[in-house]
Amino acid sequence: MKGLRFGYLFLAVAVMLLLAGGSPQAFHSGGVAECTGCHSMHSPAPAGDYLLVASDPSSTCLSCHQHAGDTGPSGYHISTAEADMPAGVPPKQRTPGGDFGWLKKDYTMTIRGTTSTEYGQTHGHNIVAADVGYVADTDNTTAPGGTFVSAKLGCDSCHDPHGGVRRLSDGTYANVIHTPGATNAPVIGSGSYDTSVMPAAGQAVGAYRLLRGLGDTSQGVDFAGVAIAVTPATYNRTEAATQTRTAYGANGIDTWGNWCATCHPDMHSSGNYVHPIDQSLGSTVANNYNAYVKSGDLTGSATTSFTSLVPFAENTGDIATLQSHAKNNNSYLNGPGSSDKVMCLSCHRAHASGWTEALRFNVEGEFMIYNGLYPGLDTTPSVPQFARGRQSIETQAAYYDRPVTTFATYQRVLCNKCHAKD
Ligand code: HEC
Ligand code: HEC
Ligand code: HEC
Ligand code: HEC
Ligand code: HEC
Ligand code: HEC
């Protein structure tokens, strides 16, 4: 009898796993979650609006998405509590978007006799979450290249807590919350993963990461299109042995450049002397990417060249294709074709990173790797302009724990992955 019950339980858990797209503790399930996870009808947080359970929207999100005592990287956590990352210890999460904990990491360095501080707030998007010590950026009062006010920046600026955007069975998208009259297909689960089920006729799955889109103007900016990608079901993990490949897509106006440009319009417009965005790589750059292994080594091949430190957008919105590429076991490491695109996320992470401007790799200084070691105050020789006030384990963590031998002993910046100038 007991054995039978256990069997049912096991089956139930297996079904839950399947429905959640690999996520054992579903909450949002691709759409609006249990209301009372975020709102309290009769005992909301005193300081908050909207009957939220915490002082502000982002503190509400972080009441689940950050856990004190986390040994990470783990599950859906995207922030490390301060107590878990004292000086010299890096944040613990390794998600594609990056750990907001880097925003609390100030680094002080003395380079050629001048002491300066690289403030944590330069490491990414400073969401306002009063309960856990995240405050608005003091340098950028608005989004650079745009007007979105930094004091209003929260998780809910980019993610729709109610998950309005959904992907329908024919591969098109609808936003029933922000587009009255749109097809009202119910969301059956997350659409973000390689394991997410394809919705049948009359069903839908959530848009990638519940991101805002498709006519959502509730934040005072117009999220016109949708952001397309698929990520492996287990995405918050060390890349010491195998990479976590998010397969980013692009289809018509549904590009990552357009999505980010919702708040950063002038970082994008052509003719503004900005780096090409959403532009096809062309054969020269695609060939560079595929040949580039590391500084001084251009012997790579198109089937093994992918690095999650320099991803590109595939020139497709087809989810089945992206699902077959979003792997975390190195089973698909193909590099780009000439029609694949350079996009904001080729260089930046969406949340935060170990480097300034949420960059995926350090561009401050000519060497990322020096003398075969991750630069740090603890390495020999310790070169201040490469160590930049960090311990070598912090530098390694910013590269998601890759062995240093992934790179050349004197590795230059990863702009070279596309430009091969080293
Ligand atoms: C993941 C957290 C979360 C969940 C789950 C959630 N909400 Fe909200 N809700 C918010 C946040 C944050 C706001 C503040 C405004 C915003 O960010 O859009 C909000 C605002 C609201 C508002 C006022 C503003 C508006 O958009 O109309 C209503 C009404 C509301 N929620 C109802 C609901 C209901 C009903 C449910 C359950 C079906 C629900 N919420 C589930 C986070 C959540
Ligand atoms: C009650 C706990 C809880 C709260 C509060 C919460 N989350 Fe989550 N969140 C989860 C869990 C559990 C998962 C993984 C399972 C899932 O996706 O349902 C998750 C997953 C996610 C994902 C990935 C979903 C996907 O389908 O790709 C996003 C994005 C996200 N949360 C954003 C938010 C935002 C933004 C808020 C605040 C407005 C928030 N969460 C509040 C528990 C929570
Ligand atoms: C909802 C509006 C919004 C969206 C969407 C948005 N940003 Fe931002 N971004 C801001 C604001 C506001 C700031 C200024 C506050 C700050 O720097 O923390 C900012 C700052 C930045 C910075 C500078 C960070 C720093 O520490 O100086 C970078 C880089 C950036 N955004 C990149 C992106 C990329 C890439 C995307 C798309 C994945 C994106 N943004 C989408 C609002 C947005
Ligand atoms: C500037 C826009 C922006 C803000 C602000 C933002 N996110 Fe995200 N988030 C994204 C994007 C874009 C992705 C997809 C990143 C990728 O796959 O490369 C993402 C991914 C995620 C994921 C999946 C794990 C990961 O990191 O890849 C979770 C969970 C999540 N966000 C929750 C949150 C929570 C909670 C907050 C607030 C503390 C927040 N986000 C603030 C844009 C944002
Ligand atoms: C080829 C790599 C690359 C791409 C693609 C790229 N950026 Fe950047 N971005 C950088 C670098 C490097 C910096 C910091 C140094 C600098 O400003 O030149 C930066 C800085 C920024 C800043 C901070 C500017 C400031 O004044 O503080 C923002 C905001 C930003 N990028 C947003 C974006 C957005 C949005 C996109 C896509 C529309 C994008 N970037 C595409 C490499 C890139
Ligand atoms: C994912 C690939 C990719 C990455 C990474 C990348 N670029 Fe580019 N870059 C391109 C493409 C594509 C072009 C346009 C085609 C060309 O000029 O060859 C371009 C063009 C340029 C140009 C010429 C712009 C013009 O108007 O003529 C410069 C300069 C440049 N990139 C610098 C950088 C720097 C610096 C970095 C690192 C911070 C970087 N790129 C990272 C793909 C990339």
pLDDT tens across 270-328, in order?
A: 556 589 999 999 999 999 999 999 999 999 999 999 999 999 999 999 999 999 999 99
Rounded to the nearest integer, the mean pLDDT of the chain is 92
Query: Predicted confidence band at 334 (pLDDT cuts at 50, 70, 90)?
Result: very high
Query: Predicted confidence band at 10 (pLDDT cuts at 50, 70, 90)?
Result: very low
* Amino acid sitting at position 42: H
Neighbours of 198 (CB within 10 A): 13
User: Candidates 18, 56, 65: which one to mutate for ligand 2, based on the most atoms within 8 Å of Cβ?
Assistant: 65
- Give per-residue burial for 50-77: e unless 16+ CB within 10 Å, then b: eebbbbbbbbbbbbbbbbeebebbebeb
Q: Is the pLDDT of residue 5 over 70?
A: no
Q: Please say whether the beta carbons of 240 and 207 come within 8 A.
A: no
pLDDT of residue 270: 55
Distance 353 CA to ligand 4 centre (A): 12
Residue 361 and residue 320 share a domain: yes
Nearest CA to ligand 1 atom 25: 50
pLDDT of residue 27: 97
Residue 371 and residue 327 share a domain: yes
Give 167: exposed, middle or buried? Use CB within 10 Å, 0-12, 13-18, 19+: buried
pLDDT digits (tens, 9 = 90+) for 204-246: 999 999 999 998 999 999 999 999 999 999 999 999 999 999 9
Query: Predicted confidence band at 7 (pLDDT cuts at 50, 70, 90)?
Result: very low
pLDDT of residue 22: 43
122 inside domain: yes
Sequence-distant (≥ 6) Cβ neighbours of residue 287 within 8 angstroms: none
Average pLDDT, integer, range 150-170:
97
User: Candidates 107, 246, 264, 355: which one to mutate for ligand 3, based on the most atoms within 8 Å of Cβ?
Assistant: 264
Q: Which of 225, 248, 271 is the last residue of a domain?
A: 225
Residue 171 and residue 252 share a domain: no
33 inside domain: yes
d(CA 326, CA 233): 9
67 inside domain: no
Residue 209 and residue 268 share a domain: no
pLDDT digits (tens, 9 = 90+) for 370-404: 999 999 999 989 899 999 999 999 999 999 999 99
235 inside domain: yes
Which atom of ligand 6 is closest in space to residue 347's alpha carbon? 5
Give 110: exposed, middle or buried? Use CB within 10 Å, 0-12, 13-18, 19+: exposed
Average pLDDT, integer, range 241-265:
96
Q: Which of 228, 202, 236 is nearest to 323 (CA)?
A: 228
CA 300 to chain centre: 27
Residue 192 and residue 120 share a domain: yes
d(CA 120, CA 389): 12
**pTM to 2 decimals?**
0.96
Q: Is the pLDDT of residue 20 over 70?
A: no
Q: Which of 173, 206, 225 is the last residue of a domain?
A: 225
Distance 30 CA to ligand 2 centre (A): 9
372 inside domain: yes
Residue 243 and residue 206 share a domain: no
pLDDT digits (tens, 9 = 90+) for 43-57: 888 877 899 999 999
pLDDT digits (tens, 9 = 90+) for 341-360: 999 999 999 999 999 999 99
Which atom of ligand 5 is closest in space to residue 144's alpha carbon? 29
pLDDT of residue 53: 95
Residue 376 and residue 269 share a domain: yes
> Residue 164's domain spans which residues?
1-38+106-225
230 lines ligand 4 (CB under 6 A): no
Residue 193 and residue 155 share a domain: yes
Average pLDDT, integer, range 55-84:
96
Q: How many percent of the chain have pLDDT more than 90?
A: 86
Distance 41 CA to ligand 1 centre (A): 12
d(CA 37, CA 130): 18
The structure tokens listed for 409 are 């002993």
Residue 165 and residue 237 share a domain: no
d(CA 18, CA 240): 27
The structure tokens listed for 17 are 């796993």
d(CA 241, CA 386): 25
Distance 173 CA to ligand 3 centre (A): 25
72 inside domain: no
pLDDT of residue 3: 36
Residue 346 and residue 237 share a domain: yes
Q: Please say whether the beta carbons of 286 and 335 come within 8 A.
A: yes
Tally of structural domains, the chain: 2
8 inside domain: yes
Query: Predicted confidence band at 6 (pLDDT cuts at 50, 70, 90)?
Result: very low
pLDDT of residue 11: 36
d(CA 412, CA 366): 6
Q: Which of 174, 195, 225 is the last residue of a domain?
A: 225
- Give per-residue burial for 209-231: e unless 16+ CB within 10 Å, then b: bbbbbbbbeebebebbbbbbbbb
Provide residues with CB under 6 Å of ligand 1.
32-33, 35, 37-39, 50, 52, 57, 60, 156, 161-162
Residue 111 and residue 182 share a domain: yes
Least confident of 87-91, 118-122, 177-181: 177-181
56 inside domain: no
pLDDT of residue 49: 87
Query: Predicted confidence band at 13 (pLDDT cuts at 50, 70, 90)?
Result: very low
187 lines ligand 4 (CB under 6 A): no
pLDDT of residue 280: 96
pLDDT digits (tens, 9 = 90+) for 122-157: 999 999 999 999 999 999 999 999 999 999 999 999
Q: Please say whether the beta carbons of 337 and 250 come within 8 A.
A: no
Residue 243 and residue 211 share a domain: no
pLDDT digits (tens, 9 = 90+) for 91-112: 999 999 999 999 999 999 999 9
